[in-house]
């Protein structure tokens, strides 16, 4: 081994190393951490309603799903995901869910310490990811049980939580069909603790760069020559590894930079990162809000009061509907601008069952004019042309007619893009549409469907909304696919992460 005196400054310094680094600490990252910590899924023997899948499961029931042929098991399965392993996992976790059945899971999980793969989970906030950034009082779009993670019954947890003295839930324990977003966030936070995953999670950590190193040497982009002659670095010649860099906020409140060397990076950053923009004049003025929480904060601060105020809501999705409901509750007049026809079946609210989501269908009826209400003005097929510093907005309609409105606040709620600024060119080369921003809806990342490895990027994985699996119940299958591939690469024999004082485990 080379003497440390021949090493570069980075090698002599306090360097972090980990076989696997997961970026993001939401539900898909939690599920992957659960599997990597040695909790492997097995078929539990209960008969499956899909006879073809049932027959395959019975062939080798003694083997974990991690050890089986996932392509064979998932063949022919259908559902609301383009990824076969996601469909397989969903069929096992929630059999016949899309037919309205609520059957018990067909999986059990066995903890085997020898099968654990060392890893680190980096998140910018508390475990639970973006769920902590959502309005805690809003009900989940999906059934509460579809938020469930492996090994911890959601309905049972929520019932216990609603009965506890710490609960702030407006519902009784038996009201189980849908949960509040706040309850889901607390469920995810408790999952990390109850499954003993805390040692893997590093909260309040922002990843700013992921770059591939050849033999741990930084190669000059112009000359193609190595920028270091460090003997330790050159000794790793041929290894495909990454350097993950960022900033960690310590308990003292100080920001400290860090760098981690790893052979495997998993991107599980979710869909909430940067709000989509209208790209119009004045969009950065301070009365423009891009989150429902910001609108609520303005209401709570007394910035908007009664009929003398007016809010312009732009968008026709669930967030826009939440903003409208928020203003209606506060009796604040709303002008609602959206691009589509009110009766367009592609509007997100129109695709929700009325019996399950009455609050959203109430907004849809207002949009269509089936119901009228003082203080709500729909403007279908209109667009914002510009915002002006005097708290006004210019709109243009389908016939070219222009409207000038005086407003107090504008809530522009037209979706969001994942924050991939840590990748070269923000990962645009990794989508179906090259050179376009990655979007769960229009341009997800292209991955191998049975490993979730980004095509053309060995060792780099993506899961969840980044690959188009926007619902929790479908994002978990990626964890199974990634775990199997990491095991096949020999990661079971990886050394535990080398930690330092800079990065502390999750609180």
pLDDT in tens, 298-355: 887 777 876 667 999 999 998 899 899 989 988 999 999 999 999 999 898 998 878 7
Task: Report CA torsion sign: 31, 34, 38, 44.
Answer: negative
Q: How far apart are CA 450 and CA 132, in angstroms?
A: 31
User: Pick from 471, 247, 489, 449: which is nearest to 462 by CA?
Assistant: 449
Distance (Å) of CA 55 to CA 48, 245, 483? 9, 47, 24
Q: Torsion-angle region of residue 452: left (phi > 0), alpha (psi -120 to 50) or beta? A: left
Q: Torsion-angle region of residue 15: left (phi > 0), alpha (psi -120 to 50) or beta? A: beta
Count Cα atoms within 13 angstroms, Cβ side, for 359: 16
Secondary structure of residue 411 in the 3-state scheme = strand
Residue showing tokens 């290894």: 239
Q: How far apart are CA 485 and CA 24, in angstroms?
A: 20
Secondary structure of residue 372 in the 3-state scheme = coil
Q: Quick one: pLDDT at residue 507?
A: 42
Q: Quick one: pLDDT at residue 455?
A: 95
Q: Quick one: pLDDT at residue 239?
A: 61
Q: How far is residue 406 CA from its own chain's centroid? A: 36
- Whole-model pTM: value is 0.81
Q: Give ∠ CA 56-62-68 in degrees, rounded to 5.
A: 55
Q: Quick one: pLDDT at residue 1?
A: 34
Q: How far apart are CA 213 and CA 234, in angstroms?
A: 11
Q: How many CB atoms lie within 10 A of CB 126?
A: 18
Q: How far apart are CA 117 and CA 482, in angstroms?
A: 12
Q: How far apart are CA 357 and CA 28, in angstroms?
A: 25
- The dihedral over CA atoms of 33, 35, 39, 40, expressed in degrees to the nearest 10, equals 180
What would the two tokens of residue 184 be? 């889901």
Instruction: Render pLDDT for 58-108 as a digit per residue (tens, 0 to 9).
Output: 999 999 999 999 999 999 998 888 999 999 999 998 888 776 667 888 999
Q: Quick one: pLDDT at residue 45?
A: 92
Q: How far apart are CA 436 and CA 447, in angstroms?
A: 16
Non-local CB neighbours of 5 within 8 Å, separated by 6+ positions: none
Query: Which residues in the chain show pLDDT less than 70?
Result: 1-15, 99-101, 131-145, 165-178, 214-239, 251-252, 306-308, 356, 493-507
User: Pick from 273, 284, 319: which is nearest to 416 by CA?
Assistant: 273
Q: Give ∠ CA 393-396-402 in degrees, rounded to 5.
A: 80
- Helix (H), strand (E) counts: the chain: 13, 21
Q: Where are the beta strands (DSSP E) in 270-413?
A: 274-275, 288-289, 311-314, 334-338, 376-380, 383-388, 392-396, 402-406, 409-412
Report residue 462: phi and psi, to 5°: -140, 150
């Amino acid at each position: 081994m080379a003497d440390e005196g021949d090493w570069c400054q980075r090698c002599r310094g306090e360097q972090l190393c980990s076989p696997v680094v997961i970026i993001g600490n939401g539900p898909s990252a939690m599920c992957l951490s659960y599997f990597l910590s040695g909790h492997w899924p097995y078929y539990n023997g209960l008969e499956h309603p899909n006879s073809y899948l049932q027959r395959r499961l019975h062939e080798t029931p003694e083997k974990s799903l991690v050890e089986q042929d996932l392509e064979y098991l998932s063949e022919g399965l259908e559902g609301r995901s383009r990824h076969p392993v996601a469909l397989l996992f969903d069929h096992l976790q929630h059999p016949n869910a899309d037919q309205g059945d609520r059957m018990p899971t067909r999986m059990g999980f066995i903890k085997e310490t020898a099968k654990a793969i060392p890893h680190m989970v980096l998140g910018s906030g508390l475990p639970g990811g973006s769920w902590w950034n959502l309005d805690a009082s809003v009900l989940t779009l999906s059934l509460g049980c579809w938020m469930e993670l492996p090994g911890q019954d959601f309905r049972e947890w929520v019932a216990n939580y609603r009965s506890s003295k710490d609960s702030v839930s407006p519902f009784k324990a038996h009201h189980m069909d849908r949960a509040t977003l706040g309850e889901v966030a607390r469920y995810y936070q408790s999952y990390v603790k109850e499954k003993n995953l805390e040692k893997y999670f590093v909260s309040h950590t922002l990843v700013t760069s992921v770059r591939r190193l050849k033999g741990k040497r930084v190669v000059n982009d112009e000359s193609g020559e190595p920028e270091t002659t460090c003997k330790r670095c050159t000794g790793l010649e041929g290894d495909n590894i990454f350097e993950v860099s960022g900033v960690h906020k310590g308990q003292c409140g100080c920001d400290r930079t860090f760098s981690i060397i790893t052979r495997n990076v998993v991107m599980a950053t979710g869909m909430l990162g940067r709000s989509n923009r209208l790209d119009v004049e004045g969009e950065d003025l301070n009365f423009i809000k891009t989150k429902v929480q910001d609108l609520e904060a303005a209401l709570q601060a007394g910035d908007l009061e009664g009929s003398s105020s007016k809010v312009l809501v732009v968008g026709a999705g669930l967030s826009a509907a939440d903003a409208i409901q928020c203003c209606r509750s506060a009796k604040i007049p709303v002008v609602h601008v959206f691009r589509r026809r009110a009766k367009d079946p592609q509007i997100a609210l129109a695709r929700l069952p009325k019996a399950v989501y009455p609050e959203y269908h109430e907004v849809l009826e207002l949009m269509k004019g089936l119901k009228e209400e003082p203080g709500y003005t729909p403007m279908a097929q209109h667009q914002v042309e510009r915002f002006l510093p005097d708290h006004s907005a210019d709109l243009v309609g389908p016939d070219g007619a222009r409207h000038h409105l005086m407003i107090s606040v504008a809530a522009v709620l037209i979706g969001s893009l994942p924050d991939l600024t840590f990748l070269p060119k923000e990962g645009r080369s990794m989508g179906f549409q090259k050179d376009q921003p990655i979007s769960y809806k229009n341009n997800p990342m292209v991955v191998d469907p049975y490993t979730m490895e980004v095509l053309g990027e060995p060792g780099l994985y993506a899961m969840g909304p980044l690959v188009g699996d926007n619902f929790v119940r479908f994002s978990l299958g990626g964890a199974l696919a990634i775990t199997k591939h990491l095991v096949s690469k020999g990661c079971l024999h990886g050394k535990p992460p080398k930690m330092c004082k800079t990065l502390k485990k999750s609180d």
